[in-house]
A and B are shown apart, each in its own frame.
Chain A
C-alpha cells in the first residue's frame, strides 16, 4: 500500500495568511493526487484533482503543485470559511489512501 504522510497535523493561522499543506507519498503516485476540505458533519469536498487542477466552483486562492512523491496545497489568502480539515488522497494504485489530515484553525 502507498502511505501518505501529511503535514502539519495542525495549523494555526489568521485571515489573510498564506498557508501550505504537504503530502508525501511512499512511492511515485504520478500526480494522481486530490485535495479535499471537510467541515464538521459534512462529506469531504474536493478542491483539487490530479495535483493542480482546480475543481469547478472552488476559489482561485486554492492551488496545488507537486510531482513524484511530494505534493502541496496552498491557500494564498485565508478567508473565514477556509478554517476546516484538509486531506490528501492518492488514487494512483489500489488501495487508494488518504493522508491523516490537517486541521486549520483560527489563530
Chain B
C-alpha cells in the first residue's frame, strides 16, 4: 500500500525557514517523480515543484512563484522527500502536501501538514 506522511509543519515568523519531510512507503521510491503541492485555506491547490526519479537524474522543476526560495530534495536511502522553505511570507501559509507524480498526474497524496507564517 502506497503511503505518504508529511511532517515538520508549524508556526514560523515571517522571514524564517522551515523544512518539511515526506516519508514514503509501499513503492520503489527511486522509480518515481515526487512533487510538493500546497493549498492555502479556502483556496485551490498550487503546484510547487517536482524532483524527478533516478532514471532522470533527480533533477528538479519549480513553480516560478517559489523558485529561489524553496528547494526540493530527496533521501533515496531513507525514502524521504524534503521541502526546504526560506524567507517565508504570510502568503506561504497553507497546507502542504507531498504527492507521487505519475504519467497520468497525481493519484497518491499525503494527508498534508499545516504551515502558518505569522508574527
- Which A residues lie at the B interface, using CB under 8 A? 1, 32, 34, 43-44, 46, 49-50, 53, 55, 87, 89, 91, 94-101
Give the Cβ gap from A100 to chain B, nearest Cβ, in Å.
Answer: 5
**A50, closest chain B residue (CB):** B104
Question: Which B95-116 residues sit within 8 Å CB-CB of chain A?
Answer: 97, 104-107, 109-112
Give the Cβ gap from A46 to chain B, nearest Cβ, in Å.
Answer: 5
Question: Which B44-60 residues sit within 8 Å CB-CB of chain A?
Answer: 44-47, 49-50
Q: Given A43-B109, A53-B104, A99-B44, list of 10 further CB < 8 A pairs? A: A34-B105, A43-B111, A43-B112, A49-B107, A55-B107, A91-B106, A95-B65, A96-B105, A98-B45, A98-B47
User: Are B47 and A46 in contact, with the CB atoms below 8 A?
Assistant: no
Rounded to whole angstroms, the CA-CA distance of A50 and B49 in the bound complex is 20
Give the Cβ gap from B66 to chain A, nearest Cβ, in Å.
Answer: 10
A34 in contact with B45 given A43-B110, A43-B112 (CB within 8 Å): no
Residues of A within 8 A of B64 (CB): 1, 95
* Number of residues of chain B lying within 8 A (CB) of chain A: 22
B63 within 8 A of A: yes
User: Are B105 and A49 in contact, with the CB atoms below 8 A?
Assistant: yes
Give the Cβ gap from B110 to chain A, nearest Cβ, in Å.
Answer: 7
| Residue among A46, A87, A95 making CB contact with B44, cutoff 8 Å | A87
B61 within 8 A of A: yes
